[in-house]
Structure 1
Amino acid sequence: MVVRDAGGPEMLAVWDVIDPQPGPGEVLIDVVAAGVNRADLLQRQGNYPPPPGASELIGLECSGRISGLGPGVEGFEIGDEVCALLAGGGYAERVAVPAGQVLPRPEGVTLVEAAALPETVCTVWSNIFMLASLRPQETLLVHGGASGIGTTAIQLGKAVDARVIATVGADSKVAKCLELGADTVINYRKDDFVEVVKQVTEGHGADVILDVVGAPYLDRNMRTLATAGRLVVIGMQGGRTGELDLGLLLAKRAAVLATGLRARPVQEKAAIVASVRDNVWPLIADGHLRPVVHTVLPLEEAGEAHRILEDSEQIGKVLLLAREP
């Protein structure tokens, strides 16, 4: 799947390209399914080019079977069912990826469903837990609670016994977030999340906020934070430039953190993936976390998948099927 030119979903097209070959420390995966992420939309529009050396093809996560091993690879064998965190190349039949970014298909999850996990889980785990250090009994506020990131964050927050509050943009998404474990769900189109969070926490506020909106929420997020709270910004869906009240930041002894995953060095990604395997994969096996899949479309319908995300229709992940599992 290639982008013929920067623009709308209609610019996505199926194209024959040369099969990748696994280099030293890499594995070759015959892709079964790929996850669709908002970063993919940005790349299609020409606003999010791949990092140097990465595939020009869109796709930041996939699942499939290992069909080739590069020199020096240990711990994997031909035929292993896996999923992988990618810097690009997921919308394809084959992809080469560093072995440190590959995870075994978790117990209790189908190979297709596994494509919903790598980018989402690695993003949530690295930001909420490895960076912001969410602890039991703290309050986590998740913006975009019905998204792939949001549905994962809700479940992981509850798995560590945190109070979880989520925001959504439609009443139709409230029930699913509650089913996944959210204690409170706020329709931001109807209610001010700052006031609701203060009410349900009896004035304490949110200890950790995971934000994908960016600039428009910066001031309100700061007013929502608890003392010693941590705001983690992982997206700019609403804009990139906002105003920060440093006096409020100092008074709350708070922290504003911002991260990206795609452009990190291979070693950093491998460390995140290893932590996910140690800490999150057991939660999937025992039922505390499950991938939430909105729909699965053929790879040829990637344009429709992008339209679904652009319209914010989905609850959970949209997946593309590259071959029958």
Structure 2
Amino acid sequence: MKAVLIEESSKRLYIGDAKEPVPGDDELLVSVKATALNRADLLQRQGKYPPPQGASTILGLEMSGVVEAVGRHVTEWKEGDRVCALLPGGGYAQKVVIPAAMAMPIAEAFSFEQAAAIPEAFLTAFLNVSILGRAAAGDHVLIHAAASGVGTAAIQLVRELGGIPIATAGSKEKLDACRTFGAKNLIHYKEEDFSAKVSEITSNRGVQVLLDPIGASYWQQNLQSIGPDGRWLLIGGMGGYQVEKIDLQMLMRKRIQLIGSTLRSRSVKDKIDLTQQFIRFSKDRFHNGALMPVIDQIYSWEQVMEAHAYMEQNRNIGKIVLRVE
């Protein structure tokens, strides 16, 4: 089969030959129609984020496609079914193998490109906002990088849970988009102190849930923004990982739950459980339009380097998708 490979010396991506995967008894072989970019792909290409042990070394943490073959123990899927799924790697390829229990049905109205934009963004948001963050009706939820794939998914999930999304982003265009997805309050972090604005929005109470892909550079403002008994989900380090001074007294006084969270390193069982919970929550909502994948750009996989360069510019609103041809 063909797959996107990494030229080690230049770190450039090219389409070459790779070994076709073989499904096990409880797995599906899927013919990939589309995949989507994640920041982990950029880091892995640069040699800074190796895949988990045993995972494919091919880039790509999600995909959509058509079931080509089923393992002999699989009864819930058949050849020809349209599915999308989270992956530990391997999405930038013509074929991929997945556990049958991790496959998600694609809503009839969705294209393969739309479906490819769902798994990583929505499962990350669902895990952190709903399961770990326990966001509930009436909760204020602060969402950083809110125009990203995860951010746009999180806004929609908070809205569906009855919460109040507070979105931060770095441009009016991105904030306007966040409003259309359901963000009740918008903060332009380049023009105002987001912690002061959060205090104003919440009448000095702070937020109950904080979704943080930024890390170190937002530490102090996040500490000011989160309220008593708040759940702070640290899911990335776009602003660095080293914090020089940490006020443990404030963490204790506010009874803050600081939760470090990554999805890729979780066990297959955990990912299956998460996928099944999300299917129950989202299936009807994807069918009736309450939840929608958000796509900024669609590239042919032959344009994969252009797609990576575009993500590196941090211009996207929603997901960047590769059409596999």
Q: TM-score, normalised by structure 1?
A: 0.96
The code of the aligned residue for 2:277 comes to S
The AA in structure 1 aligned to 2:311 is: L
1:106 Cα offset (Å): 2.4
The equivalent residue for 1:161 is 162
Structure 1, residues 234-279: CA drift from partner, whole Å, max 9, x if none?
1111111113311001110110001111121110000000001001
Correspondence for 1:279? 281
Among residues 244, 269, 273, which one is paired with 2:271 in the alignment?
269
Inter-partner Cα distance in structure 2 for 1:144 and 1:278: 27
Alignment correspondent of 1:244:
246
Cα distance in 2, alignment partners of residues 181 and 236 from structure 1: 25
Q: Partner residue of 1:111? A: 112
CA distance in 1, matches of 2:109, 2:153: 16
User: Hey, what does 1:2 align to over in structure 2?
Assistant: 5
Q: 1:74 deviation in Å?
A: 2.4
- SS of the counterpart of 1:177? helix
Which segment drifts farther, 38-47 or 16-25? 16-25
Q: In the TM superposition, what is the alpha-carbon distance from 1:7 to its structure 2 partner?
A: 5.9
- Asked whether 1:69 is paired with 2:79, we answer no
Shift of 1:70: 2.1
Distance in 1 between residues matched to 2:319 and 2:283, nearest whole Å: 18
AA at the equivalent of 2:287: A
Identical residues among aligned pairs (%): 37
Cα distance in 1 between the residues matched to 2:194 and 2:286: 30
Match for residue 304 of structure 2?
A: 302
One-letter amino acid of the counterpart of residue 304, structure 1: E
**Greater shift after overlay, 62-71 or 134-143?**
62-71
Measure how far apart 1:107 and its partner are. Answer: 4.1
Inter-partner Cα distance in structure 2 for 1:128 and 1:214: 17
Q: Tell me whether 132-141 or 285-294 shows the greater mean CA deviation.
A: 285-294
The one-letter code of the counterpart of 2:266 is R
> C-alpha offsets along residues 28-53 of structure 1, whole Å, 9 cap, x if unaligned?
11000001111111111111111111
Distance 2:26 2:217 in 1: 42
* 8 A Cα contact 1:234 1:260, kept in partner: yes
Output the aligned Cα RMSD.
Answer: 1.2
TM-aligned CA deviation for residue 71 of structure 1: 3.2
Q: Counterparts of 1:1-150 in structure 2 under 5 Å?
A: 1-5=4-8, 11-150=12-151
Letter in structure 1 aligned against 2:270: E
Listed as ranges, the matches of 1:286-325 within 5 Å are: 286-323=288-325
Q: What whole-Å deviation, never above 9, does each CA across 1:49-90 have from its counterpart, x for those lacking one?
A: 111111000000000000011232220100000001100000
How much does 1:15 deviate? Answer: 0.8
Partner Cα separation in structure 2 for residue 73 and residue 199 of structure 1: 53
Report how many residues are paired.
Answer: 321
1:260 correspondence with 2:262: yes
CA distance in 2, matches of 1:222, 1:5: 41
Shift of 1:12: 0.8
- What is the CA–CA distance in structure 2 between the aligned matches of 1:14 and 1:138, rounded to whole Å? 46
The question of whether the paired residues in 2 share the 8 Å contact of 1:6 and 1:44 is answered with no
**CA contact under 8 A between 1:100 and 1:269: conserved in structure 2?**
no
1:235 aligns with 2:248: no
> What pairs with 1:196-207 in structure 2 (closer than 5 Å)?
196-207=197-208
- Unaligned residue ranges in structure 1 (runs of 5+): none
Please report the TM-score for the alignment, with normalisation by the length of structure 2: 0.96
| Contact in 2 for aligned 1:6/1:45 (Cα 8 Å) | no
- Deviation, 1:287, is 1.8
Contact 1:7–1:46, Cα closer than 8 Å, also in 2: no
- The 8 Å contact of residues 6 and 46 in structure 1, kept in 2 or not, is answered as no
Equivalent in the alignment of 2:218: 217
